[in-house]
Structure 1
Amino acid sequence: MGDPRLLLYPTDSDGNICGVGDKADKPYLFFFDFLDCAKVGMAILSTGCPTPQVCVSACPTGYWQWYTLYAQELGTGSQSSSGRAKMICKNNLDAATSSETVKALVESDTCAAYYMDSSSVVGRCIPSASSGVLNANDCRIQHSTSFLLHRYLGYLLNAQSYGEQILADVRSSWWLILSFIVLGTLVTFIWIALMRWLAGIIVWFTIFAFVGLFGFATYYTFNKWLTMKDNPDNQGTITFSTSLDYYTNLADTWLALGIISAVFLGIMLLILLFLRKRIKIAIALIKEASRGTSSMIFTLFWPLVPFLLQIIVLTYWAASAIYLASVGNKTYGQSNVTYVNETVNGVVKTQKYITEVISSIPCSPDNTTAGDICSFVKYGGEYTLYLQIFQLFMWLWVMNFIVALSQMVLAGAFASYYWAFKKPQDLPLFPVSASVWRSFRYHTGSLAFGALIIAIIQMIRIGLEYLDRKLKGYDNAFVKFVMACLKCCFWCLEKFMKFINKNAYIMIAVYGKNFCTSALNAFQLIIRNIVRVAVVDKISDIIIFFGKLVVTAAVTVLAFYFFSGELASAIPTSSISDYVTNYTPELNFYLVPVIIIGIATFVIASAFFSVFSMGVDTLFLCFLEDLERNDGSPEKPYYMNKELMNILGKKNRKPGEKKKGCCGR
């Protein structure tokens, strides 16, 4: 029932599509008063632009305004056919044959009051840079609105110019951009492979760096306080001030900073004293995750599959939304327009004001109240809104299903790695493919149910955002408080449920039970080991963040030096320097490819490190299960690696060997 052309092609005030059907010879849309579109702001989405719009065969060239023609006809006492031929009017009206005055044609919005040299932007006639400066007395536009119009036009023209230059830069350097993106992918692979050796260095360096930083901050701030506390010039109470020197000259400021630094230093020292064994466990699990990804190299490529699936689903949803948006009858928005005679520089001019935008009153362009404008807004009916809501909810559900599938497949692969007694000899031949088969064959319902929970929460959050926008006009503190609380609570609920779902998928991959049972088991297992969970989660976050930072920064900095030309000048060998210079393109903005490379590298690194993060989470839950299910006996041996067993002081006993220690412990 929908027609995407209704949205892709411009539509005039009567709902006619420019360049289609009867308007096939008029593919461009002309606005009578382009400034009116900016005056209404965001209301344009519900009422359309409150100025008449007509389809034209070509965008106007040159500058024309009605007052000069009106004065000419008053002076001669007769109509000017050549002057009226330049007028742009609605409904194919020929102004040259009309008996009405030019002023009447303009004030009835039958013809445009002015136009400027314009160019086509997505089928719309937009004033171009050669339009010149509008006179404050011309075109029924006040001085302030004339300035506003040129400010908006300046933004538009500058954006268009910059856009063309940026596009030219991308076209001339696209193959170099792809080369740096490939380089970023290789660096990510290498970094993940090196994690088995670098994990401990990164974690301990980060912790000791924090200790050193807060230790120095504590010493420095308390030392400053001791030197200032007896000086009368540095006494006083801390009050609000925009001057930074005011705070730095107060002894109490340094005392407060010293206390804060000492508190953080104490927290870091307590972590080192009481959680060092758990930090070692986290480091060992991270190293094991790196070994797992090296043994199952296809896990690193698996994120491409859900990414492509999400692109397909997004494309289908966007196409459906476009078709639904073009279903239904034409809807119009009404705007009240008032004309007032004002004296400007001794001359009486007719000024135009949009006094109110009314979207709730139905109107028809064939039957409008005098002084009002009835413009086409969109196609649609009330029932299409419910279809759009349904489409949005289903899109959220399917997208979350794909995320759940991705997590379960990785969980199944890493679980098969952990529960292989001899690694990697006992690892299945195709662990990723086997996990995909199990997920689709046995766990589709669990994936759908978990995704449904997240989709419902996200839909509620979208509804709250919609209500919040609708209530912005009401200055009610209680309503704002309630909305803020609801938005915060549902944000926290979404984060919590995503955490529960991910761990539930891990337990499903291990035991094969249903979603609710697995979620309960995972939650209870986490609660029984809450300190270990907190430490491992934060340590893995540090490792992943540091990895993304290193990979992205390394590739982006290299790209910056290459495209800026500094790399060629820094190379001592002339032949290599000349080679690099020859392949460095001439760009308008050399930061454009650098920014694109940086963003693309970060996205790629995030995708690969998401596999690493899922591997750590899966191995950690398997490790906790291993501790609770097994005791190191020949009947129940531990599946963890020797490094983890050494940290915990455990080992797998040989047949006939008894546990060491008192009372068989």
Structure 2
Amino acid sequence: MCVHFLVNRGCTDILCCILFILALLGYFAVGILAWSQGDPRKVIYPTDSKGQFCGQTCFTLPKKPLLFYFNILKCASPLVLLEFQCPTTQICVERCPNKFMTLVKALLKEDDREYYKQFCKEGVDMTKVNIWNFCRKSNVVVEARAVAMRIFEDYTQSWHWILLNVIFYCITQNSVILNSICKYFLHVYPLSCFSSGIFHCYMQYASLKGQAGSDVTIKDLGLQTDFSVYLQIRQTWLAFMIILCIVEVVIILLLIFLRKRLLIAIALIKEASKAIGHVMSSLFYPLLTFALLSLVIAYWAITAVFLSTSSDPVYKVFNTTECMYSRDTCEPETFNSSNITAECPDAECLFAFYGGETLYHKYLILFQFYNVFLFFWCANFVTALGQVTLAGAFASYYWAFKKPEDIPAFPVFNSLGRALRYHTGSLAFGSLILAIVQIIRVLLEYLDQKLKGAQNKCAKFLLSCLKCCFWCLEKFIKFLNRNAYIMVAIYGKNFCTSAKDAFFLLMRNIVRVAVLDKVTDFLLFLGKLLIVGIVGICSFFFFTGKIKIVEDATPTLNYYWVPILTVVFGAYLIAHGFFSVYAMCVDTLFLCFLEDLERNDGTADRPYFMPESLLSILKKSNEGVKTVD
């Protein structure tokens, strides 16, 4: 029987395709302009808050090669996306601090004052500095630096073992084991895993009874850099056991009250596993998505850096408390004598970015805005391309009446070709809508930073409401786009028609959608936890030397949790990539399943395409086509 969704296909949303191509050409032009105007030295060499180069003999501070950040956490501010400069004081220093002092030492030893003077801004009177607060911060910095050095040593000792673990995990992800888990143990392993975890926690809790120091509470213990300390107290294992018990009770309730829905969800995941078994190349598609996203991120970052390092330094007011002059342009030479410091005592005039008075520099912020907007558009386009490619491949599996005989050859490659040839405009349209919402969210965050000094409570409340609304809107558009792309892959219609068809199809089956979608997400999440948990447990036994066979090969570590967390994090990223394929497969099969139910009735003219497992659950059959060859 023919796979009907492959015929009668034409180009969709041509106008948006042309607009996307023109936008890309403009993006390349902005990149070329930035690279021609930017100064590579300002990218390569660290620059302090005054715009001076650190450690360069031909520049300003030859004897101070290192850049010292006062508060590195401020670099996570959304302002970095547009201004590409960390909003905290940065100074060039000869060496990093390697000691700290107490208030008593500071009062008794003038030498210590002179030592720390190099880590203060020019012109600071050390006799008037709040030494106690300064030293408390220095103590934290030195301790953090010592921990970081020990972590670095652990990586040098264990990097090859970490790499081997990750490679082994990649191999097992593509093996039959993963398919077998999804096919045969998906409805069993959640209870068994959590039951085993509860039993293990109870045994650890019981074994620590009566041991010295095991009755200490987590609150009394405080923050410890050695996490193994927490595993030596009973309260930790009791907390783990309670959490696992609550989760298992929730799972049991789901099994009792949502049995039929769970059976359909499990059947869909099993069918998805069969589909991936016949379309194995789909498991490798996330690598292409990752490569394209890396390219987009790299182009954005390089362009942003070159744009931000064009021409003369521009200084702006940065502050931690409310100030009406926040982010205003300022001059370092006259800043201390201005009225800004009187009204905002904690305000500082810091280097923000490179600009100037030419036409190019006047529109520099617009170029940065265009760079961010095209970054979102291109990133969303790459994601959309992956979704419609996988949806087309898995739809070809579902709508093949005889599986696997009727499945087209090279389904992933053919689906990618169809998406680029016919539906680039539709992908650009959907990703454009999402990019507009995302750039509005960035602008709202930017306004929030700019209005920190505002006293209008109503404006702050309105801004918070807008941020919340656009966050919800972005989530909804992502959900709608995903299903619209599936309909584009199946029927080849334009984006708006596909989005409308997908929306009303889901609304007509809203209860089934709400239950099955969440149940499927939950089961896939448990699948991630299972595989990542296995990797984490194996890594724990290896790096703690509990496996006697390879005990001699175990590296000597300061913190054994460093390689364990690294392997677990890498395993989770890989699991997320591969399970995203499963999620897309389940979503595609689910929409095809709903379309199948509405369009067909099991007769010879309109047979069901769904597998026998789903037919039996729904108590339906293809009575009229039993003898079809």
Same fold by TM-score greater than 0.5: yes
Determine if contact 2:49/2:89 at 8 Å carries over to the other structure. no
CA contact (8 A) 2:186 2:523 kept: yes
| Residue 320 (1) aligns with residue 320 (2) | no
Secondary structure of the 1:200 match is: coil
Inter-partner Cα distance in structure 2 for 1:556 and 1:162: 23
The higher relative CO (CA closer than 8 Å, separation ≥ 6) is in 2
CA contact under 8 A between 1:289 and 1:619: conserved in structure 2? yes
Match of 1:585 in 2: 555
Larger Rg: 1 or 2? 1
Q: CA deviation at 1:306?
A: 0.4
Q: What's the CA shift for 1:144? A: 6.2
If the length of structure 1 is used for normalisation, what is the TM-score? 0.67
User: Which residue in the other structure is 1:172 paired with?
Assistant: 157
Deviations 1:15-58 (A, max 9, x none): 45345574388152699xx99x67xx9999798749xx7x89x6
In structure 2, how many angstroms separate the alpha carbons of the residues matched to 1:468 and 1:165? 39
Give the aligned partner of residue 197 of structure 1: 184
Q: Which residue pairs with 2:591 in the alignment?
A: 621
Match of 2:623, as an amino acid? R
Cα deviation, 1:377-416, whole Å, max 9, x if unaligned, reads 5422442222111111110110010110111111011100
2:286 is the alignment partner of 1:286: no
- Give the conservation status (yes or no) of the 8 Å contact 1:48–1:333: no
Q: In structure 1, what is the equivalent of residue 411 of structure 2?
A: 431
Counterpart of 1:612 in structure 2 is: 582
Answer yes or no: is 1:599 the counterpart of 2:569. Answer: yes
Give 2:167's aligned residue: 182
Partner of 2:606: 636
Aligned to 1:400: 380
2:522 pairs with one of 528, 542, 545:
542
- Please tell me whether the aligned partners of residues 505 and 518 of structure 1 are also in contact (alpha carbons under 8 angstroms): yes
- Matched with 1:310 is 293
- CA deviations over 1:50-74 (Å, ceiling 9, x no partner): 9xx7x89x669999xxxxxxxxxxx
Amino acid at match of 1:145: N
Q: How far did residue 646 of structure 1 move?
A: 1.5
Question: Can you list the C-alpha shifts for 1:103-152, whole angstroms capped at 9, x where unaligned?
Answer: xxxxxxxxxx974289xxxxxx759xxxxxxxxxxx83247622222222
Match of 1:453 among 404, 417, 433: 433
Shift in Å at residue 615 of structure 1? 0.5
Aligned with residue 147 of structure 1, among 118, 129, 132: 132
Distance in 2, Cα, partners of 1:656 & 1:368: 89
1:517: Cα distance to partner? Answer: 0.7
Gaps in structure 2 of 5+ consecutive residues: 1-36, 80-84, 100-111, 197-248, 342-347, 357-361
Contact 1:409 1:435 in 2 (8 A): yes
Contact 1:46–1:333 (CA under 8 A) maintained in structure 2: no
Q: How does 1:124-273 map to 2 (within 5 A)?
A: 140-142=125-127, 145-189=130-174, 190-201=177-188, 272=256
Equivalence for 2:38: 2
1:72-126: CA deviations, max 9, x gaps?
A: xxxxxxxxxxxxxxxxxxxxxxxxxxxxxxxxxxxxxxxxx974289xxxxxx75
What is the match of residue 379 of structure 1?
354
Counterpart-to-counterpart distance in 1, 2:114 and 2:324: 24
User: For the residues of structure 2 that align with 1:507 and 1:581, how far apart are their CA atoms?
Assistant: 54
AA partner of residue 608 (structure 1): F
Give, in whole Å, the separation in 2 of the partners of 1:321 and 1:49. 21
In 2, Cα distance between equivalents of 1:358 and 1:495: 32
Query: What is the match of residue 243 of structure 1?
Result: none
Tell me, in whole angstroms, the C-alpha distance in 2 between the residues paired with 1:593 and 1:401.
Answer: 35
What residue is the counterpart of 1:488 in the other structure?
A: 468
The C-alpha deviation readout for 1:554-602, integer Å capped at 9, x for no partner, is: 111221121112233xxxxxxx2xxx12210011111100110111111
**CA–CA distance in structure 1, aligned partners of residues 125 and 436 of structure 2:** 52
Q: Work out the CA distance in 1 between the residues paired with 2:465 and 2:309.
A: 37
CA distance in 2, matches of 1:184, 1:199: 20
- Return closer, same or farther for 1:497/1:374 CA change in 2, 3 Å cut-off: closer
Aligned-residue offset at 1:613: 0.7
Is contact 2:399–2:609 with CA below 8 Å preserved after alignment?
A: yes
Give me the whole-angstrom Cα distance separating, in 2, the residues matched to 1:428 and 1:644: 23
Shift of 1:443: 0.7
Query: Matched residues in 2 for 1:656 and 1:565: separation?
Result: 60
Q: Tell me the equivalent position of 2:331.
A: 363
CA distance in 1, matches of 2:143, 2:195: 50
Q: What's the C-alpha RMSD, in Å, of the aligned pairs?
A: 4.1
* 2:424 maps to 1:444: yes
Instruction: Report 1:43-58 matches (<5 A).
Output: 49=89
**Structure 1 counterpart of 2:313, from 311, 330, 333:** 330
- The farther-off stretch of 513-522 and 643-652 is 643-652
Task: Report the CA distance shift for 1:24/1:587 in structure 2 as closer, same or farther (over 3 A).
Answer: same
CA distance 1:356–1:185, change in 2 (3 Å): same
What does residue 231 of structure 2 align with?
A: none
Q: 1:546 Cα deviation (Å)?
A: 0.7
SS at match of 2:418: helix
Task: Return 5+ residue gaps in structure 1 as ranges.
Answer: 64-112, 119-124, 128-138, 210-264, 337-354, 569-575, 658-665
Q: Secondary structure at the match of 1:330?
A: strand
Counterpart CA distance in 2 for 1:604 and 1:61 is: 39
Indicate if the aligned counterparts of 1:414 and 1:615 stay in contact, CA closer than 8 A: yes
Distance 1:326 1:638, change over 3 A: same
- Does 2:379 correspond to 1:409? no
TM-score of the pair, normalised by structure 2: 0.70
For residues 147 and 630 of structure 1, the distance between their equivalents in structure 2, rounded to whole angstroms, comes to 77
Q: How far apart, in 2, do the equivalents of 1:203 and 1:588 lie?
A: 34
Say if 1:60 and 1:116, in contact at 8 Å, map to a contact too: no
1:556 correspondence with 2:531: no
Matches within 5 A, 1:489-528: 489-528=469-508
CA deviation string 1:469-516 (max 9, x = no partner): 333444554334322322222111111111111111111111111111
CA distance in 1, matches of 2:311, 2:132: 40
- Matched residue SS, 1:379: strand
Structure with bigger helix share is 2
Judge conservation of contact 1:184–1:552 (CA < 8 Å) in 2: no
What code does the residue aligned with 1:618 have? T
In structure 1, distance between residues paired with 2:476 and 2:460 = 24
Change beyond 3 A, Cα 1:206–1:363 = closer
- Asked if 1 retains the 8 angstrom alpha-carbon contact of 2:293 and 2:382, the reply is yes
Secondary structure of 1:521's counterpart equals helix
Does the aligned pair in 2 maintain the 1:418–1:640 contact within 8 Å?
A: yes
Q: SS of the counterpart of 1:566?
A: coil
Question: Contact conserved, 1:419 with 1:639, CA < 8 A, in 2?
Answer: yes
Conserved in 2, the CA contact under 8 Å of 1:187 and 1:551? no
Query: Aligned partners of 1:315, 1:423: CA distance in 2, in Å?
Result: 42
Q: Which moved more, 1:199-208 or 1:413-422?
A: 199-208
